Structure 1
Amino acid sequence: MAVKDYIRERFFPQMWCPGCGHGIILNGLIKAVEELGLNKNDIVMVSGIGCSARISGYLDFHTMHTLHGRALAFATGIKMSRPELNVLVPMGDGDALAIGGNHFIHAARRNIDMTAIVMNNRVYGMTGGQYSPLSGYGTLATTAPYTNIDHPFDVVDLAVAVGATFVARSTTYHICQLTDLIKKAITHKGFSVVEILSQCPTYYGRKNKEGNAYEMMELMKQKTTPVGSEAKKKNPDLIETGVFLETDKPEYCTEYDKIIERAKKDN
């Protein structure tokens, strides 16, 4: 299938702000699906509420635009009933790790075969620029005019700790890497997490004086380094990108099928 076959052209131009990184993520995701040669009828995308959640409206897959923070809960139901489908779950900061945090840790510990894409722009963009669980200590937001004193989650560390079996991070600057990591996440058998750092010039960039979209992406380039690099050893403040974990563990739906077979034998 061609790239254009995966999009709903009638919903373009998209509604994201000029310079928003989420359009780059959309592009990388479409490329990943196209390069894998997936049939769009075998894909279900489930999103919640927020800037990131609008991505499901632009893709011509089976899609569900659900409640804030509950995308993984809906996705779990879909995967349990139709385990043969590829389930993709794009989420923003709050969707994944604030109101949706409990669903995130339990989907990971169960190792349900789906791909969670955390679109991390470090802010609640759709509702006015409030700080999020990923904003970071010392940052500014509309709800933190004198700086935020909450310490952020590290998405990678959290995902590894709670049981995800594929964990990776990229940025909107590193578009080729972003596409490659999404491909690996989709083909991995188990709960996959890909965190993607995404610029929000409208709120986060403006409040924290990081400049326009171009300048914010340049900052991503400067502040990141590949996993295990010498640069990270010299400068611990650099953010690592790449694959952090890729391991095998019994997948939930497969194990559930075994339970069903045992129950049938007993009856």
Structure 2
Amino acid sequence: MTENEIIKPENLVYSKPKLLNDNPMHYCPGCSHGVVHKLVAEIIEEMGMEEKTVAISPVGCAVFAYNYIDVDWVEAAHGRAPALATAIKRLWPDRLVFTYQGDGDLACIGTAETIHALNRGEHIAIIFINNAIYGMTGGQMAPTTLMGMKTATCPYGREADIHGYPLNITQIASTLEGTSYVTRQSVHSVAAIRKAKKAIRKAFENSLHGQGSSLVEIVSTCNAGWKMSPEKANLWMEENMFKSYPLGDLKDSTNLE
């Protein structure tokens, strides 16, 4: 590389977040997890919290999140991440503490831990990846699977009288007194990514300033589980997922002035 080819700092428009390491990601091409990982790494770095962040890794597709974002991680049993985050935050109240969970982990086996941590108003942030399916274990129906949506365990589509209705965990969270910020975002476009970043940043700031519980749902794709190309999965999400899980803030009672 010649001197003229060297990128000068004042000309640098964008670079990979320093906290996002060089390990090849195991996520399927087109998966939303990689984009959210990038946002999380950027935000922690911008907040200057690299040495004072504790993240809780789930069970599911994001189980290896600790391989990609270079902060302190703790592995939780399936669904128990909010309980673990509660203990860590109470022991280290000056830390940025957040969980990173999928819909099966958070809204199924971890329903009780999620609801009660949020209801207690624990000063933690929860990032909730909702792709309406169990991605890692074979594409089974999840609590958030849409009505009529086909999965490995409801091959003819979800039916209310057999499978029950989709669980709107974020809507439930917005009704709890312990939550201060509840929002639903996505990362399917540049504009959506910017909004998602602002939402995650606000949730993290709430954790640091004792503002109660924050929940950021990211409505996501699972093109492998949905058996679609990444492009078609994004389109399907826009045409179907957003109807049941509309984007935007559901609750914001923070006071950080």
Query: Structures share a fold, TM > 0.5?
Result: yes
2: distance between equivalents of 1:115 and 1:5?
22
Partner of 2:200: 182
Give SS of 1:84's match.
coil
What is the CA deviation profile of residues 3-23 of structure 1, one whole-angstrom value per residue up to 9, with x for unaligned ones?
5431232xx210011111111
Matched-pair contact (CA < 8 Å) for 1:171–1:220:
no
Give the TM-score taking structure 1 as reference length: 0.80
Give SS of 2:196's match.
helix
Q: Does 1:89 align with 2:92?
A: no
- Aligned structure 1 segments of 4 or more residues deviating by more than 4 angstroms: 221-225
Distance 1:142 1:182, change over 3 A: same
CA root-mean-square deviation:
2.0
Partner of 1:232: none
Alignment equivalent of 1:34, drawn from 45, 54, 59: 45
Where in structure 1 are there 5+ consecutive unaligned residues?
226-236, 250-267
What displacement does 1:129 show? 0.7
Q: Does 1:20 align with 2:31?
A: yes
What displacement does 1:221 show? 4.3
Q: Does 1:242 align with 2:248?
A: yes
Q: Does 1:109 align with 2:119?
A: yes
Matched-pair contact (CA < 8 Å) for 1:6–1:30:
yes
What displacement does 1:48 show? 1.7
Alignment of 1:1-267 (within 5 A): 4-9=17-22, 12-35=23-46, 37-149=47-159, 150-163=164-177, 164-173=179-188, 174-188=192-206, 189-203=211-225, 205-206=226-227, 211-222=228-239, 237=243, 239-248=245-254
Where in structure 2 are there 5+ consecutive unaligned residues?
1-14
Distance 1:28 1:220, change over 3 A: farther
Matched-pair contact (CA < 8 Å) for 1:46–1:71:
yes
Give SS of 1:119's match.
strand
2: distance between equivalents of 1:57 and 1:67?
17
What displacement does 1:220 show? 3.8
Give the TM-score taking structure 2 as reference length: 0.83
Deviates more, 1:86-95 or 1:158-167: 158-167
Matched-pair contact (CA < 8 Å) for 2:20–2:38:
no
How many residues align? The count is 229
